[in-house]
Amino acid sequence: MEMVIFFLFAALAVGSALVVVLHRNPVYSTLSLVLTLISLAVLFVLLGAPFIAALQVLIYTGAIVVLFLFVVMLLNIGREEASGERGLLQKVAAGVGALALLAFVALAYWGAYGTREVGPLTEDFVSLEVLATQLFSDYLLAFELVGLLLLVAVIAATVLAARLGNTPGGGESDPALPEAGEEGI
Amino acid sequence: MVPVSWYLLLAALLFAIGTAGALTRRNGITIFLSIELMLNSVNLTLVAYSRLLDDHTGQLVVFFVLAVAAAEAAVGLALFIALYRHRRTIDLNRINLMRW
């Protein structure tokens, strides 16, 4: 049963990851990423991390990917046009590089662990209480710093995305980019 | 039971897909999505190791990775909005002002 669920969601994750990378339309890519993330959340549950799975669904798919989708639709990004011969060369090189990376890492994993199985899940491992105790004792400083980081990120995002009154292209009328004519910068 | 190395292999495969995407796409948002994919494959690796070693630390690191990814997405997308406002494109081949 676990095997069936693993293969189902692993195949779903890989398939939707390929769609993320290959689809020309960014809206489909973003929505496909949602599918990948939810499949991974199921795998997290199989690995005995239900809290991480819940965070994955709530934060990643609920907040981050929706933010992506919002920006994609706000900027009205069209389909990427086909690239020339140089683009093809780049694609082949990237594909070969990624395959080499995969082979290298896979061989290392296989050599180290093979088909070694782990014992059944224990109550202690799945328990949120144990996780939270560790988070709020050993990792308390990191936890506080992450809170600070999120605050800084919110301020930075607001400053970056805000329209500043005296910058070119800003202001109320929003003219179609005065310095766009500067060719060959 | 599913062997843990299968999860690790799946994570490596997703990472390779994300790498290829980040290297070949020219649309800034899609490259960003590929990077999110790579981050998530690393999360899967961390959770798998957490299971293998019977230790919660991996899951806690995933927690922090999630928070940092949220911050990264907020700032990165704001950068793309600012970039689009100035250049009317987020095709990274055309954003070459600082390219040597």
CA–CA separation, A79 vs A76, rounded Å? 10
* A154 part of contact set with chain B, CB < 8 Å: yes
pLDDT digits (tens, 9 = 90+) for B34-64: 999 999 999 999 999 999 988 889 999 999 9
* A168 part of contact set with chain B, CB < 8 Å: yes
CATH code assigned to B4-87: 1.10.287.3510
pLDDT digits (tens, 9 = 90+) for A106-143: 898 888 887 777 878 888 888 889 999 999 999 999 99
Using a CB cutoff of 8 Å and minimum separation of 24, what contacts does B56-64 make?
B56/A125, B56/A130, B56/A131, B56/A134, B57/A134, B59/A49, B59/A51, B59/A52, B59/A131, B60/A131, B60/A134, B60/A135, B60/A139, B62/A49, B62/A52, B62/A55, B63/A52, B63/A55, B63/A135, B64/A139, B64/A142, B64/A146
pLDDT: which is higher, A43 or B2: A43
Segment B64-88 shows an average pLDDT of 90
Q: Where are the domains of chain B?
A: 4-87
B76 and B35 Cβ atoms separated by less than 8 Å: no
pLDDT for A113 equals 83
Prediction ipTM score: 0.91
Q: Give the global pTM.
A: 0.86
> Residue A134: its chain B contacts at CB < 8 A?
56-57, 60
Judge: A149–B68 Cβ closer than 8 Å, yes or no: yes
pLDDT for B100 equals 67
Q: Which of B3, B68, B87 sits opposite A117 (nearest CB)?
A: B3
Which domains are delineated in chain A?
A: 1-80 (1.20.120.1200)
pLDDT for A121 equals 82
What is the phi/psi pair of residue B91, to 5°? Answer: -70, 115
The residues facing B91 across adjacent strands are B27
| Distance in angstroms between the alpha carbons of the first and the last residue of chain B | 53
Quick one: which of A108, A153, A162, A126 has its CA closest to A47? A126
pLDDT for B19 equals 93
Q: How confident is the model at residue A82 (pLDDT cuts 50, 70, 90)?
A: low
Give yes or no for residue A152 having a pLDDT over 90: yes
Give yes or no for residue A83 having a pLDDT over 80: no
